[in-house]
Structure 1
């Protein structure tokens, strides 16, 4: 992309963000965007198929910027406190853009995109997790649970909210991923069946 194309794309993006901060995505037309960007409609279509493609590309870009700032996304499963603190700081650093792009009908997509991208990275490091239902449920629970809890209470004591999220995440991981296996199964494997215990006791008494 040459310098002229870059300037045009930047004009399109700036015009879109200005409009998006004022109205829902569904209410923005190509006509008003091109008028604001001072370009022809044909020029817009050289860069994007429609308004939705433009919005989705920007949504992906900001998520990429957030996640590339994480030192190690797999810490979601190994060091939740550090992971949540890093993610919180990165989300705050991009809050102005996130609040514009992920508002209205797009609000629910932020957690969805975070889950998708984080899972992609974790699965690349742990391929065996991809088809593991338990691991997928745990990841979804940790990501969506933390995100929605934070969003619901972010106007209050942020430090306490993050601390509670960390504690809940640590509890979930302790219960279900002890040694890479479900804790319930491990406990069951360590316990002898009652009948076997009774037989052993009888044998010892004889």
Structure 2
């Protein structure tokens, strides 16, 4: 019996998220109402509110899931060292690009800077676990922000660049900055 409950919850979550993505692709976050989302997801408002406080909480949760998905798909994350930053950089870029359709929807408009900020925070946490001394070093924090947010904004500003050119260029930049790490 427990599995049915879990399956229903999963189906409801999926319906809510799919409806949200569909609406978010058409309009800004602040223009989406719980009523229209529920109509599209074929659920009651009370069902929505049993899962999320409001549309903004749903958006926040989906943004966080996207960041976790990007970071979770980096194979060399556990093995990251400043010496193997090329593999890490390549995997981060490819992980980011694999989610680009969803990213463009969730982080469009005023939400565009949210992804850079979220990635910056999450990746710094991961790197600080491996290099705890980085957490208290303002120069390292600035350098990491420069690499993380710079990569994100470079991609946004250069959508015409093919994947290999983009990744290779970012790898070269990080390689040049490696001595500072």
Superposition TM-score, scaled by structure 2 size: 0.88
Is residue 67 of structure 1 aligned with residue 71 of structure 2? yes
* Equivalences for residues 1-206 of structure 1 within 5 A: 2-73=6-77, 75=80, 77-174=82-179, 176-177=180-181
Answer with 155-164 or 123-132: which moved more. 155-164
Higher RCO (C-alpha 8 Å, min separation 6): 2
Structure of greater Rg: 1
Q: Distance in 2 between matches of 1:6 and 1:135?
A: 41
Q: Give the match's secondary structure for 1:156.
A: coil
Structure 1 position 27, deviation (Å):
0.6
Q: Deviations over 1:27-72 (max 9, x none)?
A: 1011111111122111111000000100110111111111111123
Q: CA RMSD in A?
A: 1.8
How many residue pairs align between the two structures?
A: 176
Structure 1 position 115, deviation (Å):
0.8
What are the ranges of 5 or more consecutive residues in structure 2 without an aligned counterpart? Answer: none
CA contact (8 A) 1:29 1:51 kept: yes
CA contact (8 A) 1:59 1:101 kept: yes
CA contact (8 A) 2:34 2:45 kept: yes
Runs of 4+ in structure 1 over 6 Å off = none
Structure number with higher helix proportion? 2
Call closer, same or farther: CA 1:154–1:166 in 2, change over 3 Å: same
CA contact (8 A) 1:76 1:84 kept: no
Structure 1 position 106, deviation (Å):
1.0
Q: Give the match's secondary structure for 2:56.
A: helix
